[in-house]
Amino acid sequence: MLLRDFWKNVEIGDAADCWPWLRGKNKGGYGQLQLDGKKRLAHRVAWDISKIETCDGWLVCHTCDNPECCNPAHLYRGTYQDNVRDMLQRRVYKSRPGEDNPTAKLNWTKVREIRASDQHPVELASIYGVSRSTIDKIRKGYSWFEELDDGADQSD
């Protein structure tokens, strides 16, 4: 697909409406296309075409919670934390986060210990019975968000 043909594949409506992607979608319902030999998400392409600021290193998030929407007015540049916060506030998540998840191996006390530790991630993974990638995600702020916790044990 050529970039100039992008909007031909979007059902453009009024400015306040969602503009759904009309072609292929991924498992999550996000519009997907091939552009310059790479798979791209349609809403990210819509952002790149329409906005001055780049989304390099950022997510392109929806204010409408509609994954197929390409309306630039419904998109904003945000962090992973912004996206998860929105998801939790709007209650559009598919699983329960943190200690509320019945499969959670960690709790807030252990997460704080992991963040405070200067031990190698492999060592911490072994100690806490989780993967190294879980340790990395906790340390980078990709999971276990303190500010989103509504009643976690705050005592240490």
Per-residue pLDDT of the chain (156 residues; tens, 9 = 90+): 666 789 999 999 999 999 999 999 998 889 999 988 899 999 999 999 888 777 777 899 998 888 999 999 999 999 888 887 887 777 665 555 667 666 778 988 999 999 999 999 999 999 999 999 999 988 887 777 654 444 444 333
| Same domain, residue pair 73 and 9 | yes
Examine the domain organization and report whether 74 and 102 are in the same domain: no
**Residue 133 resides in a domain:** yes
Task: Please tell me the predicted confidence (pLDDT) of residue 115.
Answer: 92
- Report d(CA 87, CA 12) in Å as an integer: 25
Q: Where are the beta strands (DSSP E) in the chain?
A: 32-35, 38-41, 59-62, 75-78
Does residue 29 sit within a domain? yes
**Ramachandran angles phi, psi of 58, nearest 5°:** -120, 165
Domain co-membership, 7 together with 71: yes
Q: Is residue 92 part of a domain?
A: no
Q: Are residues 73 and 139 in the same domain?
A: no
* Together in a domain, 14 and 56: yes
pLDDT at 92: 60
Q: Where a domain ends, among 78, 109, 137?
A: 78
Same domain flag for 10 and 62: yes
Examine residue 16 and state whether it is found in any structural domain, yes or no: yes
Token digits of residue 53: 């600021």
- Is residue 46 domain-resident? yes
**How many structural domains comprise the chain?**
2
pLDDT value at position 73? 94
Tell me if 86 is assigned to some domain: no
Are 118 and 71 members of one domain? Answer: no
Whole-model pTM above 0.75?
Answer: no
Packing angle of the helix pair 121-128, 108-116 (nearest 10 deg):
160
Of 50, 78, 106, the last residue of a domain is: 78
* Integer Cα distance of 4 and 64 in angstroms: 25
Residue 108 domain flag? yes
Name the CA radius of gyration of the chain, rounded: 19
> What confidence score (pLDDT) does residue 93 get?
59
Domain holding 125, by residue range, is 98-148
Q: Does 91 map to a domain?
A: no
